[in-house]
């Protein structure tokens, strides 16, 4: 079964991590291996997948694996390989949850805080390996700014899913993310409405993003606790989104 590469973004609190976790669970039911990538500095994807909070805290972000980074990238100081061959050892960096391979990226560093070229190049190489070198399912929980994506890696993303609540502020953020995705050249941008409680809220989101809405998620208190619990209605809506993405990808 073919893989698919999905990045999930949206305003903080809109439910992007919840959707990412539910999608990962759904794909894990039908695919042999699913890569779950936490690229959000808040690092809440592991608990949302049901991992105990203490165990989740023990997962080191890739950006902190300096010894492994040095071995793969070679060189010292400012001299290093910008394209380390991480594809063949990628799974060694993953935390395994059954057939889910979890990766915590870590925060991209800003130039003003020191030279982090090596760390950022390493993270870029990991994304390149995931998005361009493998035919696997990859679901990435992104910050609203989708900073981890570059023009190069964006080519490997089949869908950017933007999660929005049915209110003006969340919709405004979703439009900003949509513009960023366009600048990077993401192939397809789709919108998911979340915390939906009325037909009026559905109409509000559909009017804001005509032709781009691929699903609506009902308000689900269990899901928003971020502990891997989902109601049947919520899971059914996520499976429907998964099936819609599969159809649109081959169209």
d(CA 104, CA 121): 16
Q: Quick one: three-class SS letters along 60-107?
A: CCHHHCHHHHHHHHCCCCCCCCCCCCCHHHHHHHCEEECCEEEEECCC
What integer pLDDT is reported at residue 69 of this predicted model?
A: 57
Residues 132, 47, 229, 223, CA torsion sign: negative
What integer pLDDT is reported at residue 16 of this predicted model?
A: 93
- At residue 197, the 3 state secondary structure works out as coil
For residue 21, how many other CB atoms are within 10 A of its CB? 29
pTM: 0.86
Closest CA to 7 of 229, 213, 163: 163
Six token digits for residue 209: 């993003």
Q: Alpha helix locations (H) across 77-228?
A: 117-131, 151-154, 168-184, 199-208
Q: Is 247 in contact with 233 (CB distance < 8 Å)?
A: no
Six token digits for residue 70: 């040095």
What integer pLDDT is reported at residue 134 of this predicted model?
A: 77
- For residue 126, count CB atoms less than 10 angstroms from its CB and return exposed for 0-12, middle for 13-18, buried for 19 or more: buried
Q: Which domains does the chain have, with CATH numbers?
A: 5-250 (3.40.50.300)
Q: What is the pLDDT along the chain (251 residues), one digit of tens a residue?
A: 678 999 999 988 899 999 999 999 999 999 999 999 998 877 789 989 988 878 887 888 877 765 665 665 555 544 445 455 666 667 777 889 999 999 888 876 654 444 446 667 777 778 888 888 778 999 999 988 787 788 888 888 999 999 999 999 999 999 999 999 999 989 899 999 999 999 999 999 999 999 999 999 999 887 776 666 788 899 999 999 999 999 887 66
């Amino acid at each position: 079964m073919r893989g698919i590469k999905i990045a999930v973004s949206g305003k903080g609190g809109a439910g992007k991590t919840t959707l990412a976790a539910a999608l990962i669970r759904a794909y894990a039911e039908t695919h042999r291996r699913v890569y779950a990538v936490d690229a959000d500095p808040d690092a809440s994807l592991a608990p949302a997948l049901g991992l105990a909070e203490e165990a989740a805290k023990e997962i080191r972000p890739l950006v902190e694996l300096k010894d492994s980074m040095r071995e793969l990238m070679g060189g010292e100081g400012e001299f290093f390989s910008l394209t380390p061959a991480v594809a063949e050892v990628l799974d060694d960096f993953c935390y395994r949850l059954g057939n889910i391979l979890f990766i915590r990226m870590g925060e991209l560093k800003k130039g003003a805080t020191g030279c982090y070229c090596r760390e950022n190049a390493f993270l870029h190489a990991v994304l390149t390996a995931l998005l361009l070198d493998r035919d696997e399912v990859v679901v990435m929980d992104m910050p609203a700014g989708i900073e981890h994506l570059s023009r190069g890696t964006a080519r490997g993303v089949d869908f950017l899913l933007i999660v929005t609540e049915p209110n003006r502020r969340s919709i405004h953020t979703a439009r900003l993310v949509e513009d960023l995705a366009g600048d990077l050249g993401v192939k397809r941008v789709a919108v998911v409405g979340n915390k939906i409680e009325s037909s009026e809220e559905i109409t509000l989101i559909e009017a804001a993003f005509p032709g781009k809405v691929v699903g609506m998620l009902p308000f689900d208190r269990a899901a928003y606790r971020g502990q891997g619990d989902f109601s049947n209605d919520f899971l059914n809506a996520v499976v429907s989104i998964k099936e819609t993405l599969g159809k649109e990808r081959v169209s």
